[in-house]
Chains A and B, each alone.
Chain A
Amino acid sequence: MMAHEVEGTAPVHGAHEVDYLRAGAGVRSWLLTTDHKRIGLMFYVLVVLMLLLGGAFALVLRTELLTPGPTVISAAIYNRMFTLHGVVMVWLFMIPSIPNIFGNFVLPIMIGAKDLAFPRLNLASLYVYAIGAVVTLAATIAGGADTGWTFYPPYSTTTPAGVLPVVIGIFILGVSSIMTAVNFIATTHTMRARGISWGRVPLFVWAIYSTSIIMLLATPVLGLTILLVGLDHVYHFGVFDPTLGGDPVLFQHLFWFYSHPAVYIMVLPALGVISEVVCTFAQRQPASYWAIALSSFGIALIGFAGWGHHMFVAGMSELDAGIFGAFSMFIAIFSAIKVFTWVATLHRGAIQFNTPMLYFFWFLFLFVFGGMTGVAVATQSLDVHWHDTYFVVAHFHFIMVGGTLTAFLAAAHYWFPKMFGRAYSEPMGLLTSFGVFLGFILTFLPQFLAGNAGMPRRYYSYPAQYQWLNVLSTGGAYLLAGALVLALLNLLIALRWGPRASANPWRSRSYEWMTPPIPPEHNFPVTPVIDRGPYDYHLTEEEAHARVSTAR
Chain B
Amino acid sequence: MNELLRQLLFLPEQRSSLAREIDGLHYFVILVTMGGAALITLIGGYFLIRYRRRPQDTPRPHPGAFARPALFLETVSLFALGFLFLTFWTIGTRQFADLRTAPDDALDVYVTGKQWMWKFGYPGGDSEISVLYVPAHRPVRLIMTSRDVIHSFYVPAFRIKQDVIPGRYTTAWFEANEPGAYPILCAEFCGTSHSEMRGQVIALDPVDYERWLAGGLASAPAFAQKAAAEAENELAEAEPTMPSRGELAAAKHGCLRCHTLDGTPHVGPSWAGLYRAVVPLESGGERVADEAYITESIMDPLAALHRGFPPVMPSYLGQIAPPDVAAIIELMKSIRDVPHGPDVPWDGGVPGSSVTPEGVTP
A interface residue numbers (CB < 8 A to B): 5, 7, 75-76, 79, 146-148, 152, 154-155, 158-160, 242-243, 247-249, 282-285, 287-288, 291, 312-315, 318, 321-322, 325-326, 329, 332-333, 336-337, 339-353, 357, 361, 364-365, 368-369, 372-373, 375-376, 379-382, 384-385, 387-389, 449-450, 452-454, 456-463, 469, 507, 537-542
Contacts and interface: CB of A to CB of B under 8 A. Distances in A.
A381 B26 CA distance: 9
Contacts of B51: 282, 346-351
Interface string B150-176: 101010110111110111101000000
B278 interface: no
List of 5 A-B pairs having minimum Cβ-Cβ separation, nearest first: A242-B167, A454-B156, A381-B95, A372-B33, A287-B69
Nearest to A389: B187
Contact of A158 (B11, B149, B168, B198): B149
A336 B81 contact: yes
A405 B332 CA distance: 52
A385 B57 CA distance: 54
A290 to B, nearest CB: 11
A384 B88 contact: no
Nearest to B74: A340
Contact of A352 (B30, B36, B53): B53
Given A346-B51, A454-B156, A325 B170 contact: no
Residue from B11, B33, B44, B198 whose CB has the most chain A CB atoms within 10 Å: B44
Contacts of B53: 283, 350-352
Contact of B149 (A154, A326, A507): A154
Contact of A380 (B61, B69, B95, B192): B95
Given A154-B149, A333-B82, A449-B9, A350 B57 contact: yes
Contacts of A155: 149-150, 189-191
B358 to A, nearest CB: 11
A357 B186 CA distance: 43
A538 B44 contact: no
B4 interface: no
Contact of A344 (B9, B74, B91): B74
A382 B57 contact: no
B71 A344 contact: yes
A333 B81 CA distance: 8
B222 interface: no
Contact of B40 (A249, A326, A339): A339
B154 A368 contact: no
A20 B52 CA distance: 35
B331 to A, nearest CB: 15
B206 interface: no
A522 to B, nearest CB: 29
Given A248-B167, A318-B97, A369-B34, A452 B11 contact: yes
Nearest to A158: B149
A287 B73 CA distance: 12
Contacts of A336: 77-78, 81
Contacts of B163: 313-315
B187 A351 contact: no
A75 B193 contact: yes
B195 A318 contact: no
Interface string B66-101: 110111011001100110011011011111111110
Contacts of A346: 44, 47-48, 51
A453 B10 contact: yes
B96 A387 contact: no
Contacts of B10: 449-450, 452-453, 469
B37 interface: yes
Contacts of A456: 154, 185-187, 195
A353 B25 contact: no
A381 B62 contact: no
Interface in B290-306: none
A15 to B, nearest CB: 21
A57 B65 CA distance: 47
B93 A388 contact: no
B18 to A, nearest CB: 8
Contacts of A79: 189, 191-192, 194
Interface string B23-65: 0011001101110111011011101100111100101111111
User: Which of A7, A76, A538 gathers most chain B CB within 10 Å?
Assistant: A538
Interface residues of B, number: 92
B29 A382 contact: yes
Contacts of B150: 152, 154-155, 248
8 contacts: A146-B191, A282-B51, A326-B89, A329-B86, A336-B77, A340-B77, A346-B48, A357-B48
Contacts of B178: none
A462 B67 CA distance: 56
A364 B191 contact: no
B91 to A, nearest CB: 8
A291 B72 CA distance: 13
Given A75-B192, A381-B22, A329 B40 contact: no
A521 to B, nearest CB: 30
A368 B36 contact: yes
A314 B152 CA distance: 9
A157 to B, nearest CB: 9
A461 B244 CA distance: 20
A341 B40 CA distance: 11
B188 interface: yes
Contacts of A75: 192-193, 195
B78 A333 contact: yes
A539 B36 CA distance: 35
B195 A288 contact: no
Contacts of B71: 287-288, 344
Given A314-B163, A368-B41, A375-B85, A349 B47 contact: yes
Contact of B74 (A341, A369, A375, A450): A341
B196 interface: yes
B12 interface: yes
B187 to A, nearest CB: 4
A200 to B, nearest CB: 17
A3 to B, nearest CB: 13
Nearest to A367: B37
Most chain B C-beta atoms within 10 Å of own C-beta, residue among A282, A321, A365, A452: A452
B186 to A, nearest CB: 7
B40 A283 contact: no
Contact of A384 (B37, B41, B99): B99
A88 to B, nearest CB: 18
A152 B189 contact: yes
A381 B96 contact: yes
B37 A315 contact: no
Given A352-B52, A375-B88, 10 more contacts: A79-B192, A312-B96, A344-B70, A344-B71, A349-B47, A353-B52, A372-B37, A381-B95, A388-B161, A463-B198
Contact of B37 (A352, A361, A368): A368
Contacts of A314: 163, 165
A351 B160 CA distance: 49
A243 B147 CA distance: 10
Contacts of B161: 313, 384-385, 387-388
A357 to B, nearest CB: 7
B180 interface: no
A342 B159 CA distance: 38
B195 A461 contact: yes
Given A379-B89, A540-B59, A459 B194 contact: yes
A66 B281 CA distance: 56
B188 A388 contact: yes
B183 interface: yes
Nearest to B75: A340
Contacts of A365: 37-38, 40-41
A154 B166 contact: yes
A199 B190 CA distance: 51
A361 B78 contact: no
B360 interface: no
B191 A380 contact: no
Contacts of B69: 287-288, 344-345, 347
